[in-house]
Structure 1
Amino acid sequence: AWAGYTTPVGVGLDAATGRLAEAGAERLARFADGLAAVGAAEPSVFCHSYGSVVCGLAAHELKAKDLVVFGSPGMRAENVAELGTSARVWAAKDPTDWIDRVPNVSFAGLGHGADPTGPSFGARRIPAEDAAGHGGYFAAGTSSLRAFAAIAEGDVR
């Protein structure tokens, strides 16, 4: 687990811009470089909420086999190709997640772009209908947790 960036507090200007995510993206890329330097296998990177903005900005530099975003406000890209990564990109969103009420726009530095779970984004969809809101994706017995485990184990194609 890595949590080496400053998260926005509440739903305000910091949450609506990429300022904190840009700093976090640099740190995440350096962390992944460190893993590669010691011979660790390419990781599957799981990115929740604003963390998916961090992952989107780091994607082109990130040495990862999978990028998994869930509860995402966007990745600061309009589609998988704009991420500039060779990693498989996965996305999940529970229909009761409040993040679904956040507009997927990008204008004058505000917003984080397209919904990664939208068909035009091009990410592989992960079932999450039973995740129960914004914080339930890793809850025991959920389809999202089963899918996350399979991705981390390399049991999916």
Structure 2
Amino acid sequence: MSQQESVRILTRIFRATGGARPVLLLGAGASFSSGVPIAAESVKRLAKRVYAEQVLGGAVPPEQVRLTEWQTWLHDQRWYLKGDDRLAENFPLVVQHLLKPASTVSSSSSTSSIRPMESGKAITVWQSSSSKASCRQS
């Protein structure tokens, strides 16, 4: 199969239909070298954002939430795997328990848009129940 044919097939498979946006998850090496945060950093950023939006009601931007606030909240979650060396292991649990696929969140519950993460790069496919996801990279 030629590269052009492969691209054509992948384009057809990943074309958004019915409001759902397909997702392609890359391995850690590809993600990291492209500037996407690794699992442990993603857990920190997602927990901080969800804490700011759901616990603080969006009154404080995630960038201004103190480490001690969101970290204590995260560690108190029943499903959270305790231990500083286990942060990356919590990535699938954070996705499962704190995020919902964009297609399952009603538009009436979307009240604010996701801002770029501190690194200036964000690839957002998921959203918390109180925010609208967007894809952007700066």
Q: TM-score, normalised by structure 1?
A: 0.24
Instruction: Indicate the structure with greater helix content.
Output: 2
Structure with larger Rg: 2
User: Which of structures 1 and 2 has the larger relative contact order (alpha carbons within 8 angstroms, sep 6+)?
Assistant: 2
